[in-house]
Amino acid sequence: MKQVLRLFCSWALAVALPIIVSIEAGARPRATQESTETAASHHAAGKEYLQAGRVQEALAEFSKAVRLDRNYLPSLLQIADLLSSSGQVFEAYGVLQHAVSIAPASAEVHSLLGRCFSRLEKPKEARQEFRRALELNPNLAEPDYGLAVMELRQGRLAEARHHIERFLQRAPGDESAKEVLARICFEMKDYDAALATYAQFEKADLARASIQKEMAHTLLAAGRYAEAEQAFLAVLEREPTDRDALRGLFDSRYKRGAYKEAIEAMEQIAKLEPRSCEPLLLLARAYRRLNQFPQAHQRAQRCLELEPDHAGAHFLMGWTWYSEGDLEKAKTELEQAVKSDPNSIEALCWLATVELRRGGAAAALRHLEKAVAVDPEYASARYALAQAYLAEHRPADAKKQFEEFRRLKSREAWESTASDDGSRSVRRAAPEAVDRGHLDDWTGFANYLLLENKPREALHILEEAQKIAPENTGVSLLTAAAYTETGEVDAALSAYADAENRGPTALLFLGRGTLYHRLGEDDQALADLRRALSMDLPARKAAHAHLLVGSILNQRKRRREAEAELRLAIALDPNNSSARLALAETLLELGKPADAAVECRRNLAENPKDASARLLLARALLDEKREADAADEITRASQLEGESGRVLLARGRLAAAQGLRRLAVDHLDRAGQTDPSQIEAFYLLGEELLESRRPSEAAVAFEKATILDPMNAQSWLELGKIYLGAKRAQAAVGYFQKAANAAPDSAEAHYQLAVAFVETAHLAEAGQAARRAKALGHPSADVLLKSLAARAPH
């Protein structure tokens, strides 16, 4: 790896510097005699340009300094800083690799490396570098900022908060750091702290729409609906068509019970999106809430005009008719809902209710049995099915359903009796005397608070519960879950460890496995998830476990096993769109585009706005050579999320399949710039550049791919071929060795390695590699071995 990076660094300096130096943007502030030019003087000039805001000139000066002294660290640091700040992350990375080789104890170098890794979405490496920087210089500010961002992404919120607060101690006026702190507090559900942070912003910054909106969302999450409403209104004053703000306005009004006003907000969204069902259905629900049934019907009907098979719209129509007492119309609409979405639990349950009212007990039973089969954990369906069995004089079947209902109810013991808000209570009172008999109340209540997304309040309760029953596994598990939600990872893991000591359970392993996966510690995650699956898990949770296992196996390129896991996930939870998407991706990797397309379409039937599904479908269609259809899907995805990195990647792939090289290169290049973490974009770009006979540029692209994924054997292989073609056999050997290490079973890698060894006259090594290639079935290995044998001394 180091060798490669050095090579890359050389490339970066070789390629980047001339470009930089060629940019001359006006006179230098001070004239310098040629004879007195030093690295230091150019560096000083660069600093002056920087202070004056003349970045290009500054870069030019720093580059001159490095040309005079390639080990001049201050200028190298400045170059790296400017490159990475301008999005040229790979270029900056190359410079920094050189810098770290000459100054491994430089905190600034490690800090900048951390920044690069962060931008390349390599969190482990980024954290490592930032921590190293802090070890070398605890007073350096940027590593704390960088660590805060990385920990935030990993869900280690407590650590993130610690680092950003340290940063702010040194840079209290840094507004972006304050934004990060506010966001961390929001994610930790410490809304008061988030709002306190916003209060420290300068007035000018507070007036920024983005900050105003964040504040509004924080107020909404904190349950301060009236204030949230005012905050969203302030945003809308400046930008009346801000959809996000309108939606926030709707939510805050709806949650505080101002349904009429909420409707006003949603009507505006409906006007902005006249072809979208979502606002219409929200309006229908809101009108229904006000008992304004004709208006509710009207909105649902409008949705059906746009999407005649919209299950949600049919459901709302049916549900509303039921409330109005028109059972026939209710039946018609609910049947239509079920037809459009056979797995709609709500529609099945309400249709069953209607059938029961009409005296159709047998039909009701069928619908309820289906509902329970679709979602075994839907308590209401169990209850209704139990009642239906009783009505049909099947007490034994009823008893089973009641038992399941009781079990489900005890897990969601504190379902709210109020409507959406549901927080008729948050705290718990308990007699001061220890009362273990009420421990179930406490844990049930904590569970309720977690379901209501109130982990801090749950922790309050659990503290008390722990005093009563410190050895209780359920309390530990809930504590772990609560700490996971607040991002206090170490505390969560400690609670899981406590619980495991008392008695391992399926839910424990599932919870901890999920947390480990989130932290990127996949070995532990896999172990825990497999243990959870070996125990008794409810269907949905088992599906979740299979999904995570599948994801990990996919990352490790164990596609067939991943497919099996994902299929299990879907079997257990047919509505799990994430599992379907992951399965589609896996099937594509396994060369099964038709099957992948089926899965994508299933997801899109539920959610036509799923851009990920659209892009995967486009890929599948492309693999099936249906380029026009693929183009359509890419267009739809672009309409949903604009020209994002992955949309551009899809366009590039399509252009490449169509043989439109220049276009492909353009799209793929922009894809890589837009999202530098897309390894596939760089790999495909390299391929297209090769096809376009631009090997140097192709090498750059492949280098980037290997930086993102050092185990990308294909990229190493291509780099080796490029260098071999450029008569740089020694370099090629290095690349082919990398390819062989990444893919030990690749016949091609070993064969090419053998060829490169021949070029460098390392015949013994060549023979070894050729024999390996032959063993792996390379068709030309035999010929190579014979030629080597012929060259061997007698």
Partner 1 sequence: MMATKMRKRRPAHGHLPTSIPCSLTMLGVIALWLGITAVRTPAENGPIQFADVTARAGLSGYHNLFGSPEKRYIIESTGNGAAWIDYDNDGCLDLFVLNGSTLERQQKGERGPGNRLYHNNCDGTFTDVTSGSGLEGGYWGSGVAAGDYDKDGFVDLYVTTILEGNHLYRNNGNGTFTDVTAKAGVGGGRHVSVSAAFFDYDRDGHLDLFVTNYVQFDRAYLDRVSPYCLWKGLRVFCGPNGVAGDSNVLYHNNGDGTFTDVTKAAGLQNPELKSLGVITADLDDDGWPDIYVASDSTINALYRNRANGTFEDVSLQSGAGYSQDGRAQSGMGVDAGDYDGDGRLDLFVTNFQDDYNTLYHNDGKLTFTDVTFAAKIGQVSFNHLGWGTGFEDFDNDGHLDIFVANGHVYPQVDAAHLPQETYAQRNQLLRNLGNGEFADVTGTAGDGMQVVKSSRGAAFGDFDNDGQIDVVVINIDNTLTLLHNTTRNRNHWLTLRTIGSRSNRDGIGARLRLRVDGRVEVREVKTCGSFASASDPRVHFGLGATRTIERLEVSWPSGTKQTFTNVPIDHFVVIDEEKGLRVER
Site residues (vs partner 1, CB under 8 A): 223-228, 252, 255-260, 289-291, 322-325, 349, 353, 356-357, 379-380, 382-384, 386-387, 390-391, 398, 402, 405-406, 409, 414-419, 421, 423-432, 435, 437-438, 441, 445, 448, 460-461, 464
Element (H, E) at 209: helix 209-221
CA count, 13 A, side-chain hemisphere, 19: 10
Measured from the CB of residue 374, what is the shortest distance to partner 1 in angstroms? Answer: 16
- Give 438 or 762: the residue with its C-beta nearer to partner 1: 438
What secondary structure letter does DSSP report for 285?
H
CA count, 13 A, side-chain hemisphere, 361: 9
Compute the distance between CA of residue 61 and CA of residue 43 in angstroms, rounded to an integer.
Answer: 6
- Give 438 or 567: the residue with its C-beta nearer to partner 1: 438
What secondary structure letter does DSSP report for 424?
S
- Give 167 or 448: the residue with its C-beta nearer to partner 1: 448
Contact 284, 302 (CB under 8 A): no
Measured from the CB of residue 458, what is the shortest distance to partner 1 in angstroms? Answer: 11
- Give 145 or 225: the residue with its C-beta nearer to partner 1: 225
Closest Cα partner for 489 from 457, 531, 448, 518?
Answer: 518
Measured from the CB of residue 428, what is the shortest distance to partner 1 in angstroms? Answer: 3
Measured from the CB of residue 189, what is the shortest distance to partner 1 in angstroms? Answer: 13
Measured from the CB of residue 405, what is the shortest distance to partner 1 in angstroms? Answer: 7
**In Å, how far are 261, 351, 438, 661 from 137, measured between CA atoms?**
55, 67, 53, 48
Measured from the CB of residue 17, what is the shortest distance to partner 1 in angstroms? Answer: 59
Measured from the CB of residue 427, what is the shortest distance to partner 1 in angstroms? Answer: 3
Both structure tokens of 293: 């049934």
Contact 103, 132 (CB under 8 A): no
- Give 326 or 666: the residue with its C-beta nearer to partner 1: 326
- Three-class DSSP category at 256: coil
Closest Cα partner for 498 from 485, 511, 486, 487?
Answer: 511
Contact 645, 671 (CB under 8 A): yes
- Give 257 or 504: the residue with its C-beta nearer to partner 1: 257
Measured from the CB of residue 358, what is the shortest distance to partner 1 in angstroms? Answer: 10
Contact 106, 136 (CB under 8 A): yes
* Backbone CA torsion sign across 65, 66, 70, 75: positive
- Give 47 or 460: the residue with its C-beta nearer to partner 1: 460
Measured from the CB of residue 25, what is the shortest distance to partner 1 in angstroms? Answer: 55
Residue 659 phi/psi, 5-degree rounding, is 75, 15
* Region for residue 788 given its phi and psi (left: phi exceeds 0; alpha: psi -120 to 50; beta: otherwise): alpha
- Give 77 or 348: the residue with its C-beta nearer to partner 1: 348
Burial of 523 (0-12, 13-18, 19+ CB in 10 A): exposed
Both structure tokens of 563: 């497919």
- Give 408 or 526: the residue with its C-beta nearer to partner 1: 408
Compute the distance between CA of residue 688 and CA of residue 665 in angstroms, rounded to an integer.
Answer: 6
- Give 331 or 614: the residue with its C-beta nearer to partner 1: 331
Compute the distance between CA of residue 773 and CA of residue 318 in angstroms, rounded to an integer.
Answer: 67
Other Cβ atoms within 10 Å of 747 Cβ, number: 18
Other Cβ atoms within 10 Å of 1 Cβ, number: 9
Measured from the CB of residue 382, what is the shortest distance to partner 1 in angstroms? Answer: 7
Compute the distance between CA of residue 248 and CA of residue 257 in angstroms, rounded to an integer.
Answer: 14
What secondary structure letter does DSSP report for 30?
S
Rg (CA), the chain: 31
- Give 22 or 417: the residue with its C-beta nearer to partner 1: 417
Contact 97, 109 (CB under 8 A): no
Compute the distance between CA of residue 177 and CA of residue 559 in angstroms, rounded to an integer.
Answer: 41
- Give 224 or 546: the residue with its C-beta nearer to partner 1: 224
Measured from the CB of residue 256, what is the shortest distance to partner 1 in angstroms? Answer: 5
Compute the distance between CA of residue 555 and CA of residue 523 in angstroms, rounded to an integer.
Answer: 12
- Give 372 or 647: the residue with its C-beta nearer to partner 1: 372
Residue written as tokens 């000139």? 57
Measured from the CB of residue 247, what is the shortest distance to partner 1 in angstroms? Answer: 17
- Give 79 or 465: the residue with its C-beta nearer to partner 1: 465
Compute the distance between CA of residue 32 and CA of residue 42 in angstroms, rounded to an integer.
Answer: 9
Element (H, E) at 219: helix 209-221
Measured from the CB of residue 303, what is the shortest distance to partner 1 in angstroms? Answer: 22
Measured from the CB of residue 544, what is the shortest distance to partner 1 in angstroms? Answer: 24
Measured from the CB of residue 468, what is the shortest distance to partner 1 in angstroms? Answer: 12
**In Å, how far are 143, 174, 355, 359, 685 from 153, measured between CA atoms?**
15, 20, 49, 55, 28
- Give 339 or 467: the residue with its C-beta nearer to partner 1: 467
- Give 210 or 291: the residue with its C-beta nearer to partner 1: 291
- Give 258 or 535: the residue with its C-beta nearer to partner 1: 258
Residue 396 phi/psi, 5-degree rounding, is -65, -45
**In Å, how far are 318, 441, 669, 792 from 693, measured between CA atoms?**
63, 72, 16, 36
Measured from the CB of residue 357, what is the shortest distance to partner 1 in angstroms? Answer: 6
Measured from the CB of residue 418, what is the shortest distance to partner 1 in angstroms? Answer: 5
- Give 167 or 225: the residue with its C-beta nearer to partner 1: 225
Measured from the CB of residue 381, what is the shortest distance to partner 1 in angstroms? Answer: 8
Other Cβ atoms within 10 Å of 771 Cβ, number: 16
